[in-house]
Amino acid sequence: MLPSPEMAAAVAAAGGLATALRGLWEEVNEAPAWQDGAFVSLSAAYALVSAVALVQLIRIQVRVPEFGWTTQKVFHLMNFIVNGFRAIVFGFHAHVFLFQTKVYTLVLLDLPGLLFFSTYTLLVLFWAEIYHQAKNLPTDKLRIIYLSVNGVIYVIQICIWIYLGTNDNPLLKPVSKIFISVVSLLAILGFLIYGGRLFFMLRHLPFVSNMKGRRKKLYEVGTVTSICFTCFLIRCIVVAVSSFHPDLSLEVLDHPILDFFYYMLTEILPSALVLFILRKLPPKQVSSLHRPIR
């Protein structure tokens, strides 16, 4: 059956709108003003988050100067480094994205992503230690597992970078992206397992005198788990899809809008929210939850 004139007109109008939107999208992506605006905005946002992490680190050090590098201090230090690194990279975006040897661009864009993984899985380690202590389970191997997993990830990624720098194999670039996606999946599993376990353990604790403190801890663990789960899930999906669709590539200068929303949703907003939620300073008499890293 032939389509009615009204249906044909609607289809034609929809096709024309799609063509116009695609043309506008390409025009925006290729405009130097949009590129500079998006990446400079990212640089400024990362610099702000980095400064907040540094201020919080200084506040903690002033509050408890007698203790060494606690898990809390290391977390804020790593946030300062990761976000500062990103701020510098996007501040010099015009040079970063135009390297003749593309592996340099990949290193400058992917290394902060790995450091972001190490920073936020430090929370998983922290919660795992609390959970194991509460259940009278051994905790001595948790830090070894954390360091080993991170070490293996960095070694594999460095090997991929070296191979990409010495061999012009177009098949390995998608493999590198899929590896980043798998790393994000590991973070998701970590937050689900230990964030979820700690949340439900706190929720089902018998009546305690400090009910307000328990509610605050429930809110903290539940909210941070949800934020981190969401940001790593977005990263996992977007990076995996971009490995098969060049139009969604994050390593090029002419995708400023995609890059802006990707980094805003997967790193800047999650970092800002988590730093806000964990803004509380430790008590002057530091508890075992803020013990120094040995």
Per-residue three-class SS string for the chain: CCCCHHHHHHHHHHHHHHHHHHHHHHHHHHCHHHHHHHHHHHHHHHHHHHHHHHHHHHHHHHHCCCCCCEHHHHHHHHHHHHHHHHHHHHHCHHHHCCCCCHHHHHHHHHHHHHHHHHHHHHHHHHHHHHHHHHCCCCCCCHHHHHHHHHHHHHHHHHHHHHHHHHCCCCCHHHHHHHHHHHHHHHHHHHHHHHHHHHHHHHHCCCCCCCHHHHHHHHHHHHHHHHHHHHHHHHHHHHHHHHCCCHHHCCCCCCCHHHHHHHHHHHHHHHHHHHHHHCCCCCCCCCCHHHCECC
pLDDT for 206 equals 66
Q: CATH for 33-290, among 3.40.50.12160, 1.20.1070.10, 3.40.50.2000, 2.60.40.10? A: 1.20.1070.10
What is the structure's pLDDT at 75?
Answer: 95
Q: What are phi and psi of 92, to 5 degrees?
A: -110, 35
pTM, two decimals, is 0.85
Structure confidence at residue 71 as a pLDDT band (50, 70, 90) = confident
Average pLDDT, the chain: 84
pLDDT in tens, 128-162: 999 999 888 888 899 999 999 999 999 999 999 99
With tokens 């977007």, the residue in question is 238
Query: Per-domain residue ranges for the chain?
Result: 33-290
Cβ count near 207 (within 10 Å): 6
CB atoms within 10 A of CB 40: 13
3-state secondary structure 48-92: HHHHHHHHHHHHHHHHCCCCCCEHHHHHHHHHHHHHHHHHHHHHC
- Band (165; pLDDT cuts 50, 70, 90): confident
Phi, psi (5° rounding) for residue 210? Answer: -95, 70
Give 262-294 pLDDT, tens digit per residue. 999 999 999 999 999 998 887 775 444 444 443
Query: What is residue 9's predicted lDDT score, i.e. its pLDDT?
Result: 57
Q: What percent of the chain stands above pLDDT 90? A: 50
Residue 39 near residue 256, CB atoms below 8 Å: yes
Token reading at 192: 């689900």
- Tokens representing 147 are 């360091």
How far apart CA 270 and CA 264 sit, in angstroms, is: 8
Digit-coded pLDDT (tens) for 185-234: 999 999 999 999 998 888 877 655 556 777 888 889 999 999 999 999 99
